[in-house]
Amino acid sequence: HLSELSINSQGGPSVANMSLSPNLSPDAKQASPLISPLLNDPSCIRTDDEEEVKRKRFPTEKAYFIAKEVATTERTYLKDLEVITSWFQSAVSKEDCMPDTLKNLIFSNFEPLHKFHAGFLKEIEQRLALW
């Protein structure tokens, strides 16, 4: 509360002796926002653990979404490779439209490619799960 208020020589108020209650603002109307009861309420305070859980539940990092896109692209590529391997290889074999040496040369690379990309996709998915 204000204990004494006087008018100075310029006609404005001057404070001669002022003491403030710790919970009142200078005009003595309401509590200061710095001493808000919400700041002292433990249920309103976030901890680092809660932030970590929220971050893991809702990752907002750009890198995470890029990694998800890489996984989606890799999954699509792997399915396309399987289609090429099974459908195209069987169609070429039935039609007998190219020599066996050429077929072996072309299709011999599909199995190692498929194996590599299946392992790569698995690795990406594992890392995304741990993100």
pLDDT at 30 over 80: no
- DSSP-derived 3-state class of residue 108: coil
Element (H, E) at 22: none
Q: Which two tokens stand for residue 68?
A: 């998800």
Same domain, 41 and 65: no
Question: What local confidence, expressed as pLDDT, does residue 1 receive?
Answer: 47
Question: What local confidence, expressed as pLDDT, does residue 104 receive?
Answer: 87
Which residue type, as a one-letter code, is found at position 19?
S
Residue 52 falls inside a structural domain: no
Q: What is the pTM of this model?
A: 0.49
Which residue type, as a one-letter code, is found at position 37?
P
Q: Mean of the pLDDT values across residues 57-63?
A: 74
| Residue length of the chain | 131
Q: Which of 67, 100, 107 is nearest to 84 (CA)?
A: 107
Q: Which domain holds residue 84?
A: 60-130
List pLDDT tens digits, range 78-126. Answer: 999 999 888 888 888 888 788 889 888 888 888 899 999 999 999 999 9
Contact 113, 106 (CB under 8 A): no
Same domain, 108 and 67: yes
pLDDT at 14 over 60: no
Same domain, 64 and 26: no
Q: Which residue has the higher pLDDT, 69 or 93?
A: 69
Q: Where are the alpha helices (DSSP H) in the chain?
A: 37-40, 48-57, 62-83, 89-95, 100-107, 110-130
Q: Mean of the pLDDT values across residues 74-79?
A: 97
Question: What local confidence, expressed as pLDDT, does residue 37 receive?
Answer: 56
Residue 90 falls inside a structural domain: yes
Give me the residue label for tokens 């190219």: 98
pLDDT bin (cut points 50, 70, 90) of residue 18 is: very low
Same domain, 69 and 36: no
113: Cβ contacts below 8 Å, ≥ 6 apart: 81
**Whole-number average pLDDT of the chain:** 75
Q: Which two tokens stand for residue 30?
A: 């309401």
Same domain, 124 and 70: yes
Residue 19 falls inside a structural domain: yes
Residue 111 falls inside a structural domain: yes
Same domain, 64 and 124: yes
Same domain, 33 and 65: no
Q: Which two tokens stand for residue 69?
A: 């896109």
Number of domain units in the chain: 2
Same domain, 35 and 73: no
pLDDT at 45 over 90: no
Residue 76 falls inside a structural domain: yes
